[in-house]
Structure 1
Amino acid sequence: MPGYKTHMAGAAVVTGAAVAGAWWLGVYRPGYETMAGLGFFAILGGLFPDVDTDSTGRRFFYGAALLADAILIVRQQYRYAAVLGFCGLLPAIGSHRGWTHTWWAALLVPCTILLGPMLLLGMPWRPFLPYYIAAVLGYFSHLLLDRIA
């Protein structure tokens, strides 16, 4: 079974290839900061399926969630902090290679990237679509690497 470094690299390669292809075709040309953000979301997507085990990927993923939650609490945005905390509990309701290792979870879990800003902040979903796609690509790269290994 591939480790967290392989999953991070796989997510970065798949998403980097997709962004390069979109750039080459002239479909999508993000700036460097956006590309860094896409890479971050792809790597988080690539690590998410293993958050139900004691792993380095889990510590990385939940470390990022802890930081985000702390920022929300300091800003007194308790509603958003509660939603993030609730979502963080979801992987605990399944077994390893259970629901977190399914194709439908790869499409649904990253939906929070679209729905969160839309439902909680009243923002449009379109600006967040590239980040959703990056997370989905990272997630699917994890599933693919687990099947190859």
Structure 2
Amino acid sequence: MLLSRCNVYAFCSRGVNYQGHLIGGALTYLAISYVVPFEHLSWEVHVGNFLACMLGALFPDIDTKSKGQKIFYSVVAVLIGILFVQQRYDIISFVCVIALLPLMVRHRGLFHKLWFLAFCASGIAIVITWMNMSWQPIGLSLALYFFLGALSHIVLDQTFIAIKYMN
């Protein structure tokens, strides 16, 4: 059956893979951009919001060996490097604690709970604002797009599971 080739198809017999979640994240971003037009924003802000949405779309799967987990730990490594140069050891300790969580939970557990995803998105806004108070609007925007991307992940997973069990 064609759907059994998960490396080629975004939606396969085992579930939605990272490509499917990226498609879901991109469609979520496009839908939000269509409903709430942001013509006055710079292209840098649009790129940041798009990337936040895409990272959010992969984020719930960081509790398992996945493309999302590799990207997550790459982002964490770069962030720690930047924070180290800036001597922001307080934020480094916070980031390190968050980075350990995926190793301590089961798949589709904590990282698939809406309250936890909202907590993580809030953490993004808080850390960005903590770094520079004038960045608060950017932090809130990135946090919102991250959360909506993560929400698209949960919706895709739940939809696929529902369809799978209906057949």
Shorter chain as normaliser: what TM range? 0.7 to 0.9
Report the more deviating stretch, 62-71 or 27-36. Answer: 27-36
1:15 and 2:29 matched: yes
For the Cα contact (< 8 Å) 1:7–1:145, is it kept in 2? yes
Which aligned segments of 4 or more residues in structure 1 are displaced greater than 6 angstroms? none
Partners of 2:60 and 2:54 lie apart in 1 by 11
SS of the residue corresponding to residue 110 of structure 1 reads: helix
Report the more deviating stretch, 130-139 or 84-93. Answer: 84-93
- Among residues 137, 142, 145, which one is paired with 2:153 in the alignment? 142
* 1:52-79 Cα distance to aligned partner (Å, 9 max, x none): 1011111012111111111222333222
Which stretches in structure 2 are left out of the alignment for 5+ residues?
A: 1-14, 161-167
Partners of 2:122 and 2:103 lie apart in 1 by 19
Identity %, equivalent residues: 28
For the Cα contact (< 8 Å) 2:29–2:145, is it kept in 1? yes
Partners of 1:54 and 1:34 lie apart in 2 by 30
1:68 and 2:82 matched: no
Equivalenced residues, count: 145
Which stretches in structure 1 are left out of the alignment for 5+ residues?
A: none
* 1:71-121 Cα distance to aligned partner (Å, 9 max, x none): 222333222222211111122232100011112122111111221133x33
Computing the radius of gyration from Cα coordinates, the structure with the larger value is 2
Partners of 2:138 and 2:53 lie apart in 1 by 16
- The one-letter code of the counterpart of 2:133 is M
Partners of 1:122 and 1:8 lie apart in 2 by 30
- Among residues 52, 58, 61, which one is paired with 1:47 in the alignment? 58
TM-score between both structures, scaled by the size of structure 2: 0.78
SS of the residue corresponding to residue 109 of structure 1 reads: helix
Q: CA RMSD in A?
A: 1.8
Partners of 2:146 and 2:155 lie apart in 1 by 14
* 1:33-68 Cα distance to aligned partner (Å, 9 max, x none): 111000111111111111110111110121111111
For the Cα contact (< 8 Å) 2:61–2:111, is it kept in 1? yes
For the Cα contact (< 8 Å) 2:64–2:102, is it kept in 1? no
SS of the residue corresponding to residue 63 of structure 2 reads: coil
Matched with 1:31 is 42
Greater relative contact order, per chain length (Cα 8 Å cut-off, separation 6+):
1
Partners of 1:128 and 1:122 lie apart in 2 by 10
- Among residues 99, 117, 131, which one is paired with 1:106 in the alignment? 117
Report the more deviating stretch, 84-93 or 10-19. Answer: 84-93
